[in-house]
Structures are given as C-alpha cells and as structure tokens.
Structure 1
Amino acid sequence: MPFIPFLSYALVSSFTPGPNNIMSLDSARRLGLKKAFPFLLGVTAGCFAIMLLACYFNLALYHFLPRVKIWMNVLGSLYMLYLAVKIAKSKSSTEDNDHNEGYSFKSGLLLQFINLKIILYGITVISTFVMPYDVSYIELITISLLLTCIGFVAVVSWAIFGAVFQRFLNKHERSFNIIMSLLLLYSALSIWM
C-alpha cells in the first residue's frame, strides 16, 4: 500500500470542514471540551463502524452505489440543512437551558450513518489505497482503527479550537452561528455539485 499518499489523503479529508468537524467545534464552544466529549466519542465510534463497513462491503457498495447514492445524498443533505437551521436559530449559550441537546454520544454516532462525507471518504480511501493490495482481515481492522484515530484527532482538534476561543466565539455568537450554518449549507449543496 502506498502509505504516504494514503496518509496524505486521510489527513486532508479528516481535517477539512465537514459536519463532524463543524459540529465538534460548536459542541465544545457551547458546552466546553469536557462536556462535549461524549459527542466526540460518538462521532469516533460511528467513524470506526463506517470504516469497517467500507472495508468489508466496499465491493458490494460499489456495485449498488448508483442506487444507494441518491438516497444517501438526499438524507445527508436534509440532515445538514436541519443542522444548519438549528444552529442559525439557536439561542444564545447563556440563554439556552438545554445546552447538551443534539450533542450526545448517540447523536454523534448516528450522524456518521447519514454523513455522506465520511461514507464516501471510507469507500474512497479503502477502494483506492487498501483493496488493490492483498490484505487480511487483521490489516483491514488495523486500517479502520488508523483511519478512526486520525478522525478522532481531527474532531478533537476542532473541539479544542472551539473551547479555546469559546469566549471570543460566544461574544460574536450570532455571527459565528450564521457562518457555521452557511458552512453546513455549503456542505449540503456541495453533494449536488
């Protein structure tokens, strides 16, 4: 396996803005890093599940991708639009009594199963850098763990940014929420471009 191109692709894909990273930043900004951690663990667990599925069902997904892709696009876009509206309409952190709403382990986990970016990332990285080489089940699990670790570092990095700049972001919360909503809207629209 060409490790440097594999690692480059994995790092770039994991650290660029997308639903996981944007929601991780927002969760830490709203809740603080410690209270956002269940959401981050949910994202990580979901990422690992998607990577395993991408490994073991890659050929089947490619075969059925034309039929599955449109439904994944619709579900992913609708969920990102929902998140964008929810962030744009959210109350001030100081007024919001239910800070943890939407940032649980379960929501982080379930987000992965409709997050088109992570699904396509898993399919692409596995089919391009792993499947062409003779790999064992142990290697597939190891690759899935490696990709999950990279993803975990990415969401934690975005969450740390949200926590470190919490005071600044909270001071400019309305503008920040609109920018985050627009980024999610862009993510949803980019599926169709």
Structure 2
Amino acid sequence: MSLETLLALIGFAFVMSISPGPGNFLLLASGANFGFQRSIPLVLGISFGFLSMVFAVGLGLGAVLETYPTAGQILRAACTVYVLWLAWKIARSRSLGSGSGAGLEKPFTFLQAASLQLLNPKAWTVALIVTVSYLEPEAGVPDLLLLIAVFAAVTIPSISVWALSGHGVRGFLARGNRIAIFNIVMAVLLLASMLPAILSVAH
C-alpha cells in the first residue's frame, strides 16, 4: 500500500467512523447512561463486528450478497426489527443505569454490539466501499489484514469520542427528567439513522 493510498484510507476511516450512525448513537446513549468505562465493551464490539465484516467482504462475501439479493433483504428486515427493539429500550429508560426493570437495565455487551454491526446497513456499505476502493484486485490476505489494522487504529479512538461525549454530560442529565428526554431523542435519532433500511423493508 502506497503512502498516498494509506493517507486516503486513514481519512476515509476517520470520516466514516466519526460520522453519525446507529452504532455511534448507541455509544452516545451508553456513555450518558452508564459512563465511559462500562461502555468499553460496546466500543470494542462495534469495532470487532465491523472489522469482521470488512474481512468477510474482502474474502468474497460482497460478491455473494450481490449474487443473492434476497439475502440483503433478509438482512435489512432483521436489522429493522433489532433496531426498533433497541430504540424502544432506550426510549423507555428514565434514569442513569439504574437497572429499574424498564429500558436500558445494563450496558450493551460485546456480543450484542458486534451483532448490531452485522445488521447495520451503514457498516455493510462502508465495508464494501473500503474493500473495493483500497484493495487491489490481486491483493491477498496480508493486504486485507493491513487494511483492517489501519481501520482499527482509526475507528476505535474515533467512535470512543461518542461514548466519552455521553459520559461528559452525565452530570447535566442526572437532574430532573433530562435523561428521559435525552434517551427519547437518542431513540429517535437511532431510528432516523436507519430510515433508509426501514423504508426499504416496508416497500
């Protein structure tokens, strides 16, 4: 990989990682409800899930999805159901990580976060773009692993900013019913970020 390609990849990884999306809205909500430290499994799970997708697409999964479009429809349908459930859980939360029996009772686990990425249309789109744009057709597994390592080095600190931002406003949100309003807004933003996938399933 040339220096020019490497710099372009770093820039692309940063923009894609830091921009709003389902995973980042969940990180913001998790940071606000549970703090940064308890949100680390979510950070690592989101990163692992996405990088696993890049690896799978780089090995040829992207071509399989193009050949069998029904698989993509099933993926979008599963994504819609899962995100609607997550949005409902977030919207029902009324206190900071209280485990009150309603809404977000505990932080997202590593496996939950990784599975979310597997159902995330934005993540699939980025995985397809990055493998097509930054891997030569004759590239082998070592080149793919290098690309994944670069993306990981950029993605993990970038998405951590969202969890840290949520953590930073915990004190403000602890007063009155602010956390309830915040969680409702987060649920709406999560649904809005998935709107293309939801509309695709509806039609």
TM-score by length of 1: 0.87
**Deviation readout 1:70-95 (Å, 9 max, x if unpaired):** 11211112211111111111231264
With 94-103 and 148-157 compared, the bigger mean Cα shift is at 94-103
Q: Conserved in 2, the CA contact under 8 Å of 1:29 and 1:165?
A: yes
**Deviation readout 1:38-92 (Å, 9 max, x if unpaired):** 2222222212211211211245235325222211211112211111111111231
Amino acid at match of 2:122: K
Q: Does structure 1 residue 189 correspond to structure 2 residue 195?
A: yes
Q: Conserved in 1, the CA contact under 8 Å of 2:65 and 2:71?
A: no
Count of aligned positions: 192
**How has the CA–CA distance of structure 1 residues 95 and 121 changed in structure 2, closer, same or farther, with 3 Å as cutoff?**
same
Q: Which residue of 2 aligns with 1:61?
A: 64
1:186 CA displacement: 0.6
The RMSD of aligned alpha carbons is 2.3
- Quick one: which of 14, 36, 39 aligns to 1:36? 39
Q: Which residue of 1 aligns with 2:179?
A: 173
Q: Which residue of 2 aligns with 1:107?
A: 112
Amino acid at match of 2:196: S
Q: Percent identity?
A: 25
**Deviation readout 1:10-58 (Å, 9 max, x if unpaired):** 2222111112111111112111111211222222221221121121124
1:190 CA displacement: 2.3
Amino acid at match of 2:82: Y
- Quick one: which of 127, 134, 155 aligns to 1:129? 134
Q: Conserved in 2, the CA contact under 8 Å of 1:51 and 1:147?
A: no
Q: Structure 2 matches for 1:128-147, cutoff 5 A?
A: 128-132=133-137, 134-147=138-151
- Quick one: which of 149, 152, 164 aligns to 1:160? 164
1:97 CA displacement: 4.1
**How has the CA–CA distance of structure 1 residues 72 and 102 changed in structure 2, closer, same or farther, with 3 Å as cutoff?**
farther
**How has the CA–CA distance of structure 1 residues 6 and 95 changed in structure 2, closer, same or farther, with 3 Å as cutoff?**
closer
TM-score by length of 2: 0.83
With 58-67 and 70-79 compared, the bigger mean Cα shift is at 58-67
Q: Conserved in 2, the CA contact under 8 Å of 1:54 and 1:123?
A: yes
Q: Which residue of 2 aligns with 1:84?
A: 87
CA distance in 2, matches of 1:122, 1:62: 13
CA distance in 2, matches of 1:166, 1:95: 13
Segments of 5+ residues of structure 1 without an aligned counterpart are: none
